[in-house]
Structure 1
């Protein structure tokens, strides 16, 4: 199938999907925004994204994708568990949202060709989100670093939490760095993204995003080391600088990592373990174990679950866990089987980042930034579409007069 040039509106659709996954809860903003207004904007963004994607792909040409097939199957336990309305009508609404989200990805899969197009869209859109965070910090530093969050950076113009900002910053730092190492962008453009994003990541004090960035880059650059001299040089210098920093700034790094918490609170993962133990100990019927209780707000007894696997188990059951695990197995297996390339390195970074972050953050079972990260990885691992060779028209036949024709021999 021939994909052709990617229309510019595809970037707009991707930006609308990102807007839909920003969420409606977080810190207090400088100008108070009603939650109903935020939800109207985010859900409207998804509806417009689907409509634009459908207009761009009226013939419904899609690329075969195991990733999207598994996400479509994930709708089955979601709908079955939500149909009894144990989680309220909101569960069915979230199912419809997930269906529209997956449908938009199917429509965009027409342009998944293993190239960096969606990586660039991802970086641009999330960098635009981070620009609003930086603008909020400049306009109102007190609102951007409130005591409620321990002085960590939050969104003062749009309600974004520190883990959200840290996630966006870490992902685009890693992708921009891999693009410059593979010479798919210039150093100046990469520095304009990496430097401010790194500053915002430090201000959020987000441990999960920091570890995800380091682990993901280590694996991604390691996959390039055999074929890229630039990757080998960067890896060597990074290891040397990390060793020096670990020795020279050990106490400062330890204090930053603890964020003023006690060792007991840190070992308890800031109270997450208590919620996880209570969730696993709660009595469940066989149906709830298999299909879950329906899509909700990723909380248990009013407290956030903050673990993708337990959130999927709670809402979509064991079937949901099996499908999400298969997503990682399929994407990781395809990435390992591909020859070293910049696209493979970016995919490995995104897959490993999402896998690590899934331990302390939820989102793999519903429309979320993590599914968008994995969708970019799937687009990078897609086989390039075979171009249809142009058909050369045959030259018109000349009409030969009767007197000039060669007589037939009988």
Structure 2
């Protein structure tokens, strides 16, 4: 009997991990660099949308009775559907907006079904690392097969996905997230040094080749906050933090010019000050006239662009598509998750959650994605799973553990207490 239970648990874990991997595949997107073998965008969209449907189906198969756990995070995401639907219908945004609303609903529904296994453990952290490491493996394979296609002049020689259309910011984000999580697992002694090096070293190399400043800053700040939460209870965290500060000081003194050149990416001071042209789009978006309804509920779910240019800011993208209502809900998500993380006692799960929350908060300034199905919502979902209270199993009465009714029958009638009515 014990073997059957263990096998069933492993089987369920594999299905849950597969469903999570399909959610990751869905959020990879369909727009990016030119690949070695040209892939029609319609085919990529079919694969990504099909993966979402498959993830929902698998989650329903493994959770047929729809047992869910209370989650403020997924509840707030569900509320985010309301302004999305109102704006998409009222503003006549078209079938594309309604399709994105359906996609978001399926995405949230899958999270609800998988929330049954959110128990404060690092299970979903491992699922997250495995899937994104596989994605980075495809990037590395493309770099080996065709270096020219993987580092095209169109992107200034920055690393892109040559087998699957991935942009430098995407690759940098995936690399930074799994580096940070793996470092924390190593500090928490949940993995060995060899396994950690296999993930961290190549991911660092790919992050450097992308020249992604947002991902690098998010990694450094997120790790600093996460490790700081462990300093009082972990000697390994204290040693790592000390060595990290010393190495950072040496690098700042000895390699300042090289670091500055990498950080500027050959841009002029004016272009850097305007955040590579993002600020112009932001000013135009905020200056555009809007009705009261558009201010409250937005213009409907779109492709996170304004006048054909990418918005590249989660808060402005949410304001444009879901209005101030959407902005308030997204802010509530960050505040609630951050508040719960601060109230938890020091632990590895708490540190990983702090890293993910802080990374998403930092990246939201120059990347869009907090208002729609995206990797950022998956990062926050992992944080929510880490902050969930452990499930307390209800013991089943066995042959040596009599039920209350049996115990009552075993007591002699004369010894039972009588009720006075």
Normalised TM-score (structure 1): 0.95
Alignment CA distance shift 1:229-1:89 (3 Å): same
By how many angstroms is 1:388 displaced?
Answer: 1.1
SS in 2 for 1:199: helix
SS in 1 for 2:90: coil
By how many angstroms is 1:8 displaced?
Answer: 1.1
By how many angstroms is 1:387 displaced?
Answer: 1.4
Q: Within 5 Å, give how 1:101-112 maps onto structure 2.
A: 101-112=107-118
1:222 is aligned to 2:219: no
List alignment gaps of at least 5 residues for structure 2. Answer: 1-7, 403-413, 415-421
Q: Of the candidates 212, 216, 223, which is equivalent to residue 210 of structure 1?
A: 216
Q: Of the candidates 126, 137, 148, which is equivalent to residue 120 of structure 1?
A: 126
Q: Within 5 Å, give how 1:138-153 maps onto structure 2.
A: 138-153=144-159
Counterpart of 1:316 in structure 2 is 322
Q: Of the candidates 359, 363, 373, which is equivalent to residue 357 of structure 1?
A: 363
By how many angstroms is 1:390 displaced?
Answer: 2.9
CA displacement, residues 178-234 of structure 1 (integer Å, 9 cap, x when unaligned): 000000111110100000000000000000000000000000000000000000000
Aligned mates of 1:138, 1:85 — CA distance in 2: 47
By how many angstroms is 1:392 displaced?
Answer: 2.4
Counterpart of 1:401 in structure 2 is none
By how many angstroms is 1:53 displaced?
Answer: 0.3
By how many angstroms is 1:4 displaced?
Answer: 6.7
Q: Within 5 Å, give how 1:154-169 maps onto structure 2.
A: 154-169=160-175
Q: Of the candidates 233, 244, 266, which is equivalent to residue 238 of structure 1?
A: 244
Aligned mates of 2:293, 2:77 — CA distance in 1: 21
Counterpart of 1:370 in structure 2 is 376
Q: Within 5 Å, give how 1:220-369 maps onto structure 2.
A: 220-369=226-375
Q: Within 5 Å, give how 1:61-140 maps onto structure 2.
A: 61-84=67-90, 86-140=92-146
Q: Of the candidates 20, 23, 41, which is equivalent to residue 26 of structure 2?
A: 20
Aligned mates of 1:123, 1:174 — CA distance in 2: 10
Counterpart of 1:172 in structure 2 is 178
By how many angstroms is 1:389 displaced?
Answer: 1.6
By how many angstroms is 1:279 displaced?
Answer: 0.0
Aligned mates of 1:136, 1:218 — CA distance in 2: 32
SS in 2 for 1:8: helix
Counterpart of 2:51 in structure 1 is 45
Q: Of the candidates 33, 53, 57, which is equivalent to residue 39 of structure 2?
A: 33
Aligned mates of 1:287, 1:362 — CA distance in 2: 22
Q: Within 5 Å, give how 1:180-219 maps onto structure 2.
A: 180-219=186-225
By how many angstroms is 1:357 displaced?
Answer: 0.1
Following TM superposition, where does structure 1 have runs of at least 4 consecutive aligned residues deviating by more than 3 angstroms?
Answer: 3-6, 393-396
CA displacement, residues 143-177 of structure 1 (integer Å, 9 cap, x when unaligned): 00000000000000000000000000000000000
List alignment gaps of at least 5 residues for structure 1. Answer: 397-407
Counterpart of 2:410 in structure 1 is none
By how many angstroms is 1:100 displaced?
Answer: 0.2
CA displacement, residues 321-351 of structure 1 (integer Å, 9 cap, x when unaligned): 0000000110000000000000000000000
Confirm or deny: 8 A CA contact 1:85 1:91 kept in the other structure.
no
Deviates more, 1:192-201 or 1:82-91: 82-91
Aligned mates of 1:76, 1:393 — CA distance in 2: 51
Alignment CA distance shift 1:216-1:394 (3 Å): closer
Aligned mates of 1:289, 1:30 — CA distance in 2: 43
Alignment CA distance shift 1:213-1:394 (3 Å): closer
Aligned mates of 1:80, 1:390 — CA distance in 2: 47
Count of residue correspondences: 395
By how many angstroms is 1:85 displaced?
Answer: 5.2
SS in 2 for 1:83: helix
SS in 1 for 2:143: helix
Aligned mates of 1:85, 1:11 — CA distance in 2: 38
Aligned mates of 1:239, 1:325 — CA distance in 2: 32
By how many angstroms is 1:395 displaced?
Answer: 9.2
